[in-house]
A = this chain, B = another copy of it.
Amino acid sequence: MIKTDKHTHRSELSRGALLILDAAESLFAAKDFDAVSINEIASHAQTSKANIFHHFKSKEALYISVLKNACERSVSALNEVNSQLSDDPLKQLNQFFAGHLQAILSSPLSTRLIQRELLENGEQKGKLLAEEVFSDTFANVVRLVKQAQDKGMIRQGIDPSLLAFLMFGANVVFFESRSVLKHLPDVNFTESPEEYSSAIFDLLTHGFK
C-alpha cells in the first residue's frame, strides 16, 4: 500500500476537498504533473491556492489521491464487468474483452492517468501498479482462459497469460492510438469499438489463415 497520512478515499473527504479532487483529476488527466499548477487547479475548483494546501499537504499528495481514486474506480469498473458473465467460458472471455474496452473508453480520465503513470514511473512503480491495479483482473482472465482450455475450447499450445495479455493489449492500444489511427487511410474500425472488439475476437479465435 502507498502510505499517506491524510484521507485518500472520496468518502472520507469534505465537500470542498472533493471539488478540488475532481478539478485536479481532470487537469492531471489532461496534462503532466509539472504542467498543472496549483493555481490552475484552484481556479478550476473555484477556490484559493492556500485552501488546496489546507486540504492536501502537498501537490504530490494531491496527485496521489487523484491517482488512487482513478485506480479504484478503474478496478471496480472491471470487477463489474467480471460479475456479469454467462456460463460458457468462451462467451465469458468475449464479453469480458468487449466490456473491458467499453470500461476503458467510458473513463478516459482514469485510463490516461494510469497510462501516464506507467509511462513516466513504470520502472519504479511497476510492481505497485501490478499488485494493486492489474493483478486481480489479469488473474481472472487467465483463469477464464484456463477453464476454456480444460474444456477443450482453447487448444493446449496456447499460453493462457499470453492470450490474456494480448486481449488487454489490443484494447489498450486501441485507446492509445485513436488520435493517430483516425488519420491513417484504410482504417475503418476507429469509430466503432464494438466492431473492433468482435473483429479482434474473431481473429484471435480462428486466426487469419
Q: Which residues of A contact B (CB under 8 A)?
A: 31-35, 112, 115-116, 118-120, 122-123, 126-127, 129-131, 134-135, 138-139, 142, 153-155, 157-163, 165-166, 168-170, 172-174, 176-177, 179-189, 196, 199-200, 202-209
Contact = CB atoms under 8 A, between A and B. Distances in A.
Contacts of A127: 180, 183
* Copies of this chain, tallied across the complex: 2
Contacts of A196: 162
Chain A interface secondary structure, helix, strand, loop or mixed? helix
What are the 10 tightest A-B residue pairs by CB atom distance, in nearest-first order?
Answer: A207-B207, A122-B179, A126-B179, A169-B173, A130-B183, A34-B34, A206-B207, A127-B183, A32-B32, A126-B180
Most B Cβ at <10 Å: residue of A135, A161, A205? A161
12 contacts: A33-B35, A130-B180, A135-B184, A154-B209, A155-B208, A161-B188, A162-B203, A163-B208, A165-B173, A169-B173, A204-B207, A207-B207
